[in-house]
Amino acid sequence: MNKIFIIIKREYLTRVRKKTFIISTILFPLLYLGLIFGMGYIADKSKQNLKVAIIDNSGYFSDENLGFQNSIDDNSTLTLIKDSTEKIINDYKAEGFDGYIVIPAINWKEGYDSLYFKSEKSYGSSSTAAMEAKLNRIWSGIKNDSLKIGSEQQVILKKRLDVSPKNIQDENANAKTAEGIGYVAGFLIYFILLIYGSQVMMGVMEEKTNRIAEVIVSSVKPFQMMLGKILGIGLVALTQFLLWIGFVLIVYNVGKLSGGDMASGLVGSIQNMFASVNVPLVLFCFGFYFLAGFFFYSSLYGAIGSAVNEDMREAQSLSFPVTLLVIISIALMTAAINDPTGPIAFWGSIIPFSSPIVMMARIPYGVPGTVPWWQLGLSMSLLILGFIFTVWFAGKIYRTGILMYGKKPSWKEMIKWAFRKN
């Protein structure tokens, strides 16, 4: 036991003292913020202003009502073409248009459901949706005028019934906030599993290529060696997290004191989050799923590291199935957030390989409201059993692999190593 502690200490200290640890701890939050703001900026900059020629054969559209719609939404400019329509159809580009829409001679009572925005390029539905909305607003005006519906009646006609989810067990539940926290928690676990999992793999490979493995296993059991590495690197990940949480708390408190515009917005949203979500429970579950998921996956990555030689490509091809499991979990998480009580969410959060990510995305919706206690308990116990199994399995492979040089084994051979006696 004491020897595992010595190994943990070494694995932890050598990593925490590295410059890359300090840099990545500082850089990751900055990159994360940069990504969020950068994406917003790029999305803002890359808005297209489509110039569309409207060739109207119905006579309902006028320069006036198109101009009014253009002033509401400047993402597209609709221009009515009255003369030389043939010329536009043949060569709309020469006139400075991105495409054209031909409106046939239709009656206001019938409408028409297959208009085309014709262009040489392909446009997504989001570009045509805006145009469609513009034309439909004009079309509604025309219908209202024709039916002689006054502005008061128009308001009445626009009234509709709205249905949104409300959890009666948990009055404070806020689906939007829960979704946000779910996404962030799920993705953080995803990053930890991949980044720190591969750190375990690289660490084991380093011991093998440095040829220190045999020196160490003559002092400690290979299993202790592997466990020490996993626990040590797990502690590094935990340290990085605590630093980030500390960083957020500092920003929160400084923001509260300074009371600036952006800061107060941030403080407000954090307070809002505290009000609608059971923060201690979410934090506890995050800690649990983060560590248990890490044990589950990093032991598999460790086993792979022990089985391959110095060649990175061998490691990549062997670790692909494991990485795939993590990626599938993220796909399941997206489905679970859309429907946090559905069957995908349920099974995804119970089965150990995906439960760290999927369950973490469900928990912010509320326990026991969305996730009953028995599901949380079952998920946690299965994950504990799961990682005990993977650590045992990896230990068996590790013991053989770490002293084996030469050909890269296949997964089939590695499973054989695990189940043969001694």
Which positions touch another protein (CB under 8 A)? 3, 6-7, 10, 14, 206-207, 210-212, 214-221, 403, 405, 422
Judged by beta carbon, residue 91 or residue 214, the one nearer another protein is 214
Q: Which position has the token pair 């760290």?
A: 356
- Min dist CB 220 to another protein, Å, is 6
Q: Which is nearer to another protein, 9 or 82 (CB)?
A: 9
Q: Which is nearer to another protein, 217 or 357 (CB)?
A: 217
- Give dist(CA 207, CA 307) in Å, integer: 12
Nearest approach, Cβ of 334 to another protein (angstroms)? 40
Between CA 161 and CA 77 the distance in angstroms is 33
- Find the shortest distance in angstroms from Cβ 10 to another protein: 5
Cβ 206 to another protein, closest distance in Å?
A: 8
Q: CB of residue 383 vs another protein: minimum separation in angstroms?
A: 31
- Provide the token pair at 377: 């308990």
- To another protein, the closest distance from the beta carbon of 406 in angstroms equals 12
Smaller CB distance to another protein: residue 121 or 211? Answer: 211
52 or 213, CB closer to another protein? 213
Q: How far, CA to CA in Å, does 293 sit from each of 90, 283, 357, 380, 418?
A: 61, 15, 8, 10, 21
Shortest Å distance, C-beta 312 to another protein: 17
- Give the C-alpha separation, 300 to 326, whole Å: 12
Q: Which is nearer to another protein, 6 or 245 (CB)?
A: 6
**Choice between 66 and 226, CB closer to another protein:** 226
Closer CB to another protein, residue 20 or residue 164?
20
Minimum distance of another protein from residue 208's CB (angstroms): 10
Structure tokens at 56: 């109207």
Asked, as a colleague might, if the bond just before 29 is cis with ω within 30 of 0, I would say no
The residue assigned the tokens 């906030």 is 177
CA distance 8 to 228: 5
